[in-house]
A and B are shown apart, each in its own frame.
Chain A
Amino acid sequence: MSGQAKRLKSHAKLRENIQSWLIMLPGLILMTFFVWEPLFESIRMSLYKTRNVELVRFVGLDNFASVTGKDDFLQALQNTFSYTFWSLIIGFVLPILLAMLIGETVRGKSFFRTAVYLPNMLPGLAVIILWSAFFSGEKSGVLNILLGKLGVSPQSYLTHAEWVIPIIIVIATWKGAGATALIYMAGMAGISPELYEAAAIDGASVPKRIIHILLPAVRKLAGTLLILQIISVFQIMYEPMVLTKGGPDNASLSLMQLMWQYAFGGAMNYGKASAVAVIVTLILLVMTAVYSFFNRKESDWD
């Protein structure tokens, strides 16, 4: 009797499990089609010679050799690291500062929060086109108008090889810094004001309170946001594509842009494009691994 009840129960349990999987199935199929399968497919494709959407024959690492052997690859690799470098210089500390500034205000806090978040909502493509007029080399370029008032003669900003990458990072920071600042603000809101109060009574000055209370409290968050920022900047693509077409003379060409060019820039060489994509993925994986290694070490110490 009890055996039968058990069997019935396990039968019901099995049915429930099957039903649950059926409910998840549509989502799983979509994840497979849009996310998981393309990832493996891009590894497979990078090993094949392709013609349009067909895989012609297995060529081993030929695509990789051919892609990395070209000058534009080395240039793009170097540029991509340069993007990352500049984004750390310009875009990493700024959101922390913004969050600290807004956090200190008494009135108008929500107004400031709203204002800095606004650029993040705008379509990235529209933002880039808007800023291209800003940095336009013509006399009617907005920056030239503004700096003209200070007596600076008109400059052609986007044709200077050493300026384009910082300029693109400035634009990306304009769009994204406010949203990141709100994340830091949430982190800082977790610090009890009593802690500052106690430090103040002990005679700690404002800068001391920042160094000893505020900054340590957001250190872990800053580490996480740092790696996310590096991962996202490493994939920079449409910004240089639209703003400078990778120019002048490939000075702003990024790795992902190189991938796009192989695939959709007329050559339709999907095999080589996939080889570039795989290289970018590998670099990102190494970075993530290094990050989690250091992160684990740190939490061991805690």
Chain B
Amino acid sequence: MKKTQRTGVIREYDMHSASVKVGYGFILLLCGLMVVIAVFPLIWVSLAGFKDLKEFVSSESIIPQSFSPEPFATTWSQLGIAKNYLNSLISVVGSVACALVFNGLLGYGIGILKPKGHGAVKRLVMLSLLMPPTISIVPLFMNIQNLRMGNSFLPLWLSFGANAMYVILFVQFFESLPGSIIEASRIDGCSQLQTFFRIVLPLSKPICTVISIFAVNAAWSDFLLPYLVLRGAEKQTVMVRLFVFSTEQTVNADAMMRSVVFAMIPPIILFFIFQKQLTENAVSVGIKG
């Protein structure tokens, strides 16, 4: 079977009708328009980054006068974005590690070990999916303060270890693993923890990849809790910095646009590397947002 098979409502045989042909052309046109709408703002903001302040606020043209990368370099060094990038990296790495280990172990318990009473935990986790995370940001922030974990990356990392969506994804994947392999490993004398690290994790590469991509992106984009926790300038991540810019209006509009570009570059790179995994797994994880 050819790959270019029609799978939609319109069948090959409809294409003999002139009105359907016109309609199909119209569909392609709309799809093209959709791509333009999705991509144009990104192209625009990148172009705007080349403008200096005067040009940015007065020019009525979208194309900048010059394409010298100098404004980007100036903003990068003047605002010290490199430090924020480093902080974001620290935050992302720890968050992904916590997301995999803690949610993975909890998912292992619910999906494979199934000790007495695991059903209650499963229901609790499912229920927490419905509970919006920002609702409890106030008491969460107080708890963090009370434990004197303010101005540290630790609470941000650990918060990724408590993600109901990731737990459910792990459980669903683990339940699809063949039980015989796990049993065999137990008979060979592996403990439950050894089985997890030697048998289950290596088999779970697909789900770990997906959760890692989403955790990287979420940790990079998150700014509300990081803003509250990382109060000092020393530890601000890129997004926290951007949030501070936007609330305190301490930077000019042109530098702001360049900061937006800096904030978008890593997710866009991530997107292009993993676009296949992302668009194929959007279904399961997308439900969340």
B140 touches A26 (CB 8 A): no
Q: A27 near B: Cβ within 8 Å?
A: yes
For A121, give its contact among B45, B142, B271 (CB under 8 Å).
B271
Q: A110 near B: Cβ within 8 Å?
A: yes
Q: Write the chain B residue with the least CB distance to A180.
A: B286
| Interfacial chain A residues near B56, Cβ < 8 Å | 140
A206 touches B20 (CB 8 A): yes
Q: Contacts A107-B4, A125-B263 given; indicate if A237 touches B167 (C-beta within 8 A).
A: no
| Interfacial chain B residues near A42, Cβ < 8 Å | 135-136, 138-139
Secondary structure type dominating chain A contacts: helix
Segment among B30-38, B65-73, B75-83, B172-180 that sits at the interface with chain A: B30-38
For B58, give its contact among A117, A139, A209, A288 (CB under 8 Å).
A139
Q: B96 near A: Cβ within 8 Å?
A: no
| Interfacial chain B residues near A31, Cβ < 8 Å | 106, 124-125, 128, 162, 164, 167
| Interfacial chain B residues near A27, Cβ < 8 Å | 102-103, 105-106, 109, 161-162, 167
A258 nearest CB across to chain B (Å):
12
B23 touches A206 (CB 8 A): yes
Complex Cα spacing A224 to B129, Å: 14
Q: Tell me the B183-197 residues at the A interface (CB within 8 Å).
A: 191-193, 196
B149 nearest CB across to chain A (Å):
10
Q: B7 near A: Cβ within 8 Å?
A: yes
Contact with A along B201-223 (1 / 0, CB 8 A): 00000000000000001001101
B239 touches A125 (CB 8 A): yes
For B279, give its contact among A45, A110, A126 (CB under 8 Å).
A110
Q: B18 near A: Cβ within 8 Å?
A: no
B242 touches A39 (CB 8 A): no
A34 touches B159 (CB 8 A): yes
B28 nearest CB across to chain A (Å):
7
B289 touches A274 (CB 8 A): no
Q: A281 near B: Cβ within 8 Å?
A: yes
A145 touches B60 (CB 8 A): yes
Q: B10 near A: Cβ within 8 Å?
A: yes
B57 touches A125 (CB 8 A): no
Contact with A along B115-155 (1 / 0, CB 8 A): 11010010011001011111111111111011000000000
Chain A residues with a Cβ closer than 8 Å to the other chain, count: 104
A38 touches B217 (CB 8 A): no
| Interfacial chain B residues near A107, Cβ < 8 Å | 4
Q: Write the chain A residue with the least CB distance to B30.
A: A101
Contact with B along A100-116 (1 / 0, CB 8 A): 11111111101111111
Q: Contacts A30-B161, A242-B246 given; indicate if A288 touches B115 (C-beta within 8 A).
A: no
Complex Cα spacing A288 to B161, Å: 26
A35 nearest CB across to chain B (Å):
5
Contact with B along A114-142 (1 / 0, CB 8 A): 11111111111110111101100011101
B55 nearest CB across to chain A (Å):
9
A126 touches B264 (CB 8 A): yes
A179 touches B109 (CB 8 A): no
Contact with B along A33-75 (1 / 0, CB 8 A): 1111111011001000000010000000000000000000000
A105 touches B31 (CB 8 A): yes
Q: A256 near B: Cβ within 8 Å?
A: yes
B125 touches A273 (CB 8 A): no
Complex Cα spacing A145 to B161, Å: 46
For A209, give its contact among B9, B13, B114, B118 (CB under 8 Å).
B9
Q: Tell me the B238-276 residues at the A interface (CB within 8 Å).
A: 239, 242-243, 246-247, 253, 256-257, 260, 263-264, 267-268, 270-271, 275
| Interfacial chain A residues near B113, Cβ < 8 Å | 16, 20, 23-24
| Interfacial chain B residues near A102, Cβ < 8 Å | 31
Complex Cα spacing A106 to B137, Å: 46
For B246, give its contact among A119, A129, A197, A264 (CB under 8 Å).
A129
| Interfacial chain B residues near A101, Cβ < 8 Å | 27, 30-31, 34
B224 nearest CB across to chain A (Å):
7
Q: Write the chain A residue with the least CB distance to B11.
A: A200
B139 touches A121 (CB 8 A): no
A125 touches B257 (CB 8 A): no
Contact with B along A237-253 (1 / 0, CB 8 A): 11001100000000000
A–B pairs, 8, beta carbons within 8 Å: A18-B115, A27-B102, A30-B102, A45-B138, A105-B8, A121-B271, A242-B246, A256-B134
Q: Which residues of B contact A (CB under 8 A)?
A: 4-11, 13-14, 20, 23-24, 27-28, 30-31, 34-35, 37-39, 41-42, 44-45, 48, 56-62, 102-103, 105-106, 108-110, 113-116, 118, 121, 124-125, 128, 130-143, 145-146, 158-159, 161-162, 164, 167, 191-193, 196, 217, 220-221, 223-224, 228, 239, 242-243, 246-247, 253, 256-257, 260, 263-264, 267-268, 270-271, 275, 278-279, 282-283, 286-287, 289
